[in-house]
Amino acid sequence: MLWLQLLCGLLLLNGVWNKPAAQKEDDDEEDCEINAPDTMHDFCCDLHDELSQFVECQIEWHEKIHYTTDKEEQTYMFCTAECTFNGTELLKPNRKSLNLKRVQAHLESELADDADEALLYETYVKCDKHATSLLSHKSVKSLSKRLDAYGCHPYPGLVMECVSNDMILNCPPKRFHDTAQCRVARDYLRNCMTHVKYKP
């Protein structure tokens, strides 16, 4: 049963993948980032598969949100992200910033290598700031309203998306999963990030 749901979830996620690429040309600035295909579930870099709660939360939220549109899928992804962060206690009680001490302790316990820890920690620091700065963005505000209906807040998803993007862009080459899907994601992001103020 669990297996089937997982498989089903993966197929659905794969199905939505290639869509946003065509519409990206006329997006301005941060919209190119916010409208980027979700990378949260891609795990294109060996370094970044450290959040074990993620799969459980995917299953939990898949049952709660039966998405049929891109927007509903985004709601599902952001609730999954918050659920994951709630489980790991990386989030401060205000739900708008990370507990960086916990992030560090968490990375120390999950990753075996000092250089990996340092790289990922810097990414979390950067993404904490970046996600906070996106909260006032118009399209994030409208996303926030949609999330409210499910008791979810956009901040954890913004962090997680930023961490995934950063790991796709800055993954040590040997650790990058050289699959078609990951290459598409990397090329999109490289192109997109040249329009965005934030440089991962």
Ligand X SMILES: *[C@@H]1O[C@H](CO)[C@@H](O)[C@H](O)[C@H]1NC(C)=O
- Interface residues with ligand X (CB under 6 A) are 79, 82-83, 86, 151-152
Rounded to the nearest whole angstrom, what is the least distance from the CB of residue 79 to ligand X in the complex?
A: 5
Supply angle C-alpha 134, 46, 85, rounded to 5: 45
Name the CA dihedral angle for 60, 43, 125, 169, rounded to a multiple of 10 degrees: -150
Burial class (CB in 10 A: 0-12, 13-18, 19+), 12: middle
Identity of the residue, 34 or 152, whose beta carbon is nearer to ligand X in the bound complex: 152
Closest Cα partner for 169 from 52, 36, 78, 50?
36
Identity of the residue, 92 or 126, whose beta carbon is nearer to ligand X in the bound complex: 92
Identity of the residue, 92 or 195, whose beta carbon is nearer to ligand X in the bound complex: 92
Identity of the residue, 86 or 144, whose beta carbon is nearer to ligand X in the bound complex: 86
Rounded to the nearest whole angstrom, what is the least distance from the CB of residue 9 to ligand X in the complex?
A: 17
Rounded to the nearest whole angstrom, what is the least distance from the CB of residue 92 to ligand X in the complex?
A: 11
Asked if residue 188 lies in contact with residue 36, where contact means CB atoms within 8 angstroms, the answer is yes
Rounded to the nearest whole angstrom, what is the least distance from the CB of residue 64 to ligand X in the complex?
A: 9
If you count DSSP H runs as helices and E runs as strands, how many of each does the chain have, helices first? 9, 0
Identity of the residue, 91 or 168, whose beta carbon is nearer to ligand X in the bound complex: 91
Rounded to the nearest whole angstrom, what is the least distance from the CB of residue 95 to ligand X in the complex?
A: 6
The SS3 call for residue 98 is strand
* Alpha carbons 82 and 66: distance in angstroms, whole number: 18
Residue with tokens 């040590």: 172
